[in-house]
Amino acid sequence: MFGRFWKAFNNARAIVLAVVVHIIAIGILVVNMEWLDVKPSSSPKSAPIQAKVIDRTLVEKELARIEQEKKDRQAEKKRKQEQAEKEKRRAAELEKKRKAEVERKKELAEKQKQEAKRKKAVELKRKKELAAKKKKEAEAKKKKQLAEQKAAAEKKRKQEVARKKKQAAEAAKRKRIAAEQRRQKEMEQSLFRAMEDEENESRRAQITGLIRADIQNNYYIPPTAKKGMECLMSIRLLPSGDVQSVQIIKSSGSKAFDKAAEDAVFRASPLPVSVSSAGKLFNEFREFNFRFIPDL
């Protein structure tokens, strides 16, 4: 607003100055015209006339100069205005460019800020996704390890169950086999014992018969002996079958009969049973009771 006011003021001052100059010029012209109307003197001098002509020329020149100055001033003014306008436009253009540059830099800074923010968000998202992925992988790995451990434990448990079952089966089998073997052995032993008992019984009866025959053959019947008399004697033998001792454990009631029986045993010594001839069966005859019933 101040610029427009100053421009109007300068224009008004120029107009006033031009009017003043014109007024001065017209005044000078009028004065010169009056000098032309004055009669010439008788003086032969022609200098004033020449001066008047020079003055008019000067006025014209002055007017031309003033006009030219006016034109120059107007031209200068126009030039300055144009220059000012040019400077103004240039300044405006520079200001526009500056503002545009500022705006560009501002937009660039904002874009960079937004890009940095975007990159930060992308990086944060990437880190979160990476952390989530690692967490998921760790959980999956842990889950897999737990599953593997569980599977291994279950496999080990099954193997242990199978092993124990197999051991139990083998133990049961061994037990059955052992029981069968014991039963078989017992049967064999029982059969053997039965056979041995039968054989021993036969052998025992045979030995007893031989002993009875030897004692009977060495028995001298006392006069007091009667049919049906008997005594029970305890006979002890040596391994060779020799009679070590004879003891009446149940008398016949007749000392002569009992004494005759004892004497018959000693006379029959050695009896037909020894370790070499009877083997283990001899133990039954090492010390045995013998019921003596003579044939009368």
Work out the end-to-end distance of the chain between its first and last CA atoms, rounded to an integer number of angstroms.
189
User: What would the CATH number be for the domain defined by 218-292?
Assistant: 3.30.1150.10
How does residue 21 score in pLDDT terms, banded at 50, 70 and 90?
Answer: low
Q: What is the pLDDT of residue 110?
A: 86
Distance CA 23, CA 25 (A): 5
Top pLDDT among 49 and 287 is at 287
Q: What is the pLDDT of residue 19?
A: 56
On the question of pLDDT at 1 being above 60, the answer is no
Top pLDDT among 121 and 6 is at 121
Q: What is the pLDDT of residue 26?
A: 62
Which DSSP string corresponds to 256-290? Answer: HHHHHHHHHHHHHPSPS--HHHHGGGHHHHHEEEE
Q: What is the pLDDT of residue 101?
A: 86
How does residue 39 score in pLDDT terms, banded at 50, 70 and 90?
Answer: very low
Q: What is the pLDDT of residue 69?
A: 85
Averaged pLDDT score across all residues of the chain? 81
Distance CA 181, CA 177 (A): 6
How does residue 44 score in pLDDT terms, banded at 50, 70 and 90?
Answer: very low
Residue 20: Cβ within 10 Å count: 10
Q: What is the pLDDT of residue 75?
A: 87
Cis peptide before 270 (omega within 30 of 0): yes
Share of the chain above pLDDT 90, in %: 22
Q: Is the pTM of this model over 0.95?
A: no
Question: Which of 235, 237, 233, 245 has its CA nearest to residue 275?
Answer: 237
On the question of pLDDT at 168 being above 80, the answer is yes
Average pLDDT over residues 13-36: 55
pLDDT tens per residue, range 211-222 = 999 999 999 988
pLDDT tens per residue, range 169-207 = 889 888 889 888 888 888 877 777 777 777 778 888 898
Q: What is the pLDDT of residue 138?
A: 79
Average pLDDT over residues 67-78: 86
DSSP percent split of the chain into helix, strand, coil, nearest 5: 80, 5, 15
Question: Which of 6, 18, 30 has its CA nearest to residue 63?
Answer: 18
How does residue 18 score in pLDDT terms, banded at 50, 70 and 90?
Answer: low
Q: What is the pLDDT of residue 33?
A: 46
Q: Per-domain residue ranges for the chain? A: 2-115, 218-292
Helix (H) or strand (E) holding 236: strand 231-237
Q: What is the pLDDT of residue 8?
A: 56
How does residue 43 score in pLDDT terms, banded at 50, 70 and 90?
Answer: very low
On the question of pLDDT at 241 being above 80, the answer is yes
Tokens, residue 280: 């283990």
Amino acid identity of 243?
Answer: V
Distance CA 76, CA 69 (A): 10
On the question of pLDDT at 128 being above 60, the answer is yes
Q: What is the pLDDT of residue 20?
A: 59
- Largest Cα separation within the chain, whole Å, is 259
